[in-house]
C-alpha cells in the first residue's frame, strides 16, 4: 500500500510477515494473506504446533513454508484482534497449545471455565462467580506485594 505519491519509501509493511500491507486489518497493518490466515485460525479454532519446536521460526514473506504456530503467535504479538463488529465466528477463544508446566516457585492463576459463555451474539456471565474470581486475583496480587523487596519500587 503506497501513498498517493506512489513512492516506495511510503510503503506500509505488514507487521506479521513484512510484506506490503493492504491496509489496517484486525486492528493492525497487515497484508491480505496474513489477515486471511488470522481470520481462518480464529474461525476454525486451529491448534497449531511449532514445526521445529523452537517457537521462534521465521515468518517473513521470504520464508519457505512458514510455521503456522509461529505465524499465529506473531499475529497475536502485534495486536491482531477480532473486533466486536467483525463477522468472525469465535468457536475457540483459546488458541494457544497447552504447554508443559515449568518448574516454578510462583503460583499461576487458572480462571474458572464457567465464568462466561456466549449465548447467540451476547456474552453471558455469572456475576457472583466473576466477583469471586476477581477477589481471588486481587488477593494474590496483594500477597505478591508483601513478598517483593522494596528495592524494586
Predicted confidence (pLDDT) per residue in 79-109, tens digit = 988 875 455 444 444 444 544 445 444 454 4
> What is residue 48's predicted lDDT score, i.e. its pLDDT?
92
Closest to 67 in 3D by CA, of 51, 47, 45 = 51
Q: What is the mean pLDDT of residues 117-121?
A: 64
Mean pLDDT for the stretch of residues 106-116: 53
How does pLDDT run across 18-69, given as a tens digit for each residue?
Answer: 999 888 888 889 999 999 999 999 888 888 999 888 999 999 888 877 899 9
Of residues 147 and 129, more confidence is placed in: 129
Task: Determine the pLDDT at residue 137.
Answer: 81
Query: Hey, how many other C-beta atoms are within 10 angstroms of the C-beta on 76?
Result: 14
- Taking 90 as the threshold, does the pLDDT of residue 72 lie above it? yes
Confidence band, pLDDT 50/70/90 cuts, at residue 151:
low
| Mean pLDDT, rounded, for 106-113 | 50
**Could you tell me if 38 and 90 are in contact, meaning their C-beta atoms sit under 8 angstroms apart?**
no
**What is 11-85's CATH number?**
3.30.50.10
| Arithmetic mean of pLDDT, 110-129 | 64
Handedness of CA 27, 50, 45, 17 (dihedral sign): positive
Contacts of 42-47 with CB under 8 Å at 24 or more apart are 42/82, 42/88, 42/90, 42/95, 43/88, 43/89, 43/90, 43/91, 44/91, 45/91, 45/92, 45/95, 46/72, 46/95, 47/95, 47/97
What are the phi and psi torsion angles at 90 (to 5°)?
-85, 105
Amino acid at each position: 500500500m503506497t501513498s498517493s505519491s506512489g513512492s516506495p519509501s511510503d510503503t506500509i509493511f505488514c507487521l506479521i510477515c513484512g510484506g506490503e500491507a493492504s491496509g489496517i486489518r484486525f486492528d493492525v497493518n497487515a497484508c491480505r494473506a496474513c489477515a486471511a490466515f488470522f481470520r481462518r485460525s480464529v474461525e476454525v479454532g486451529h491448534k497449531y504446533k511449532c514445526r521445529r519446536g523452537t517457537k521462534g521460526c521465521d515468518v517473513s514473506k521470504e520464508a519457505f513454508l512458514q510455521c503456522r504456530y509461529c505465524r499465529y503467535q506473531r499475529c497475536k504479538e502485534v495486536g491482531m484482534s477480532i473486533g466486536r463488529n467483525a463477522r468472525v465466528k469465535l468457536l475457540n477463544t483459546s488458541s494457544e497449545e497447552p504447554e508443559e508446566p515449568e518448574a516454578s516457585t510462583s503460583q499461576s492463576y487458572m480462571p474458572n471455565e464457567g465464568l462466561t459463555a456466549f449465548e447467540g451474539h451476547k456474552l453471558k456471565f455469572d456475576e457472583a462467580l466473576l466477583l469471586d474470581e476477581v477477589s481471588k486475583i486481587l488477593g494474590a496480587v496483594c500477597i505478591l506485594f508483601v513478598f517483593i523487596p522494596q528495592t524494586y519500587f
